[in-house]
Structure 1
């Protein structure tokens, strides 16, 4: 996660610095920060978050799908080297997903493949921000359960997880 900042300063910086500072909140989706610049000043981090989330929820289905597809596949080591953001890398390390046994890696690979085949997008889960953060086992259990759900349910769950990830990242980055 980039250096922390405070809301007062974030409200005053140039649009370029504002977007750069918030670029990792929603995975590979700087358009969200760009769309809320004109709404400054924000009176709270929660207000900033709600404005960013509103941009996502008010966007069309294609844009939402692009946001979902911007998220990396969990534990994909090849992808890790190519396009995993520092925020995602930190989150996956928190859950010990960067140090899987061969058996665990194989199971994650197969479940991720099955999930993507079924739904057409990667499995997304917020691993931090809970009393007890997710770990390898809890993520596997959740993945096994969610792969059984319907497309509409899982599409909405993916968006909920993205919203949760963004909320956690924003609260870690920006202080009141």
Structure 2
């Protein structure tokens, strides 16, 4: 069984509903009583594409799925919720990214873990810290050491977790 952390993001078609729906399905991938999700945060989009702000969160859970099986399951959830891959850093109904899979480092054509951009993204680090404040990254870095007051100021609370 592996402990995984998944980034969730959406900025189209009722983003909070998109994240709520994704969490319901993610719960089915989790071992009993292991699922947690951070509060939802609003953040400015990355890149130069004109688009609405995002709603982001991080979910953590234990799973028996292999890394690639988990990736396939996440992409199926995205597709079920209308994800279309047209533009890098473009608007989307749902984006699910594997941030961490236990303390493994994976570098394959389909999957890179830890997620390549997680250290620079407030919308990943802050919610991840909300659910795993004692987390140590695979390279030995303590998660909390990456979070500054300025980083926290980049986000606006959108919704506390439900249920």
TM-score by length of 2: 0.28
Between structure 1 and structure 2, the one with the greater Rg is: 1
TM-score by length of 1: 0.27
Structure with greater proportional strand content: 2
Structure with greater proportional helix content: 1
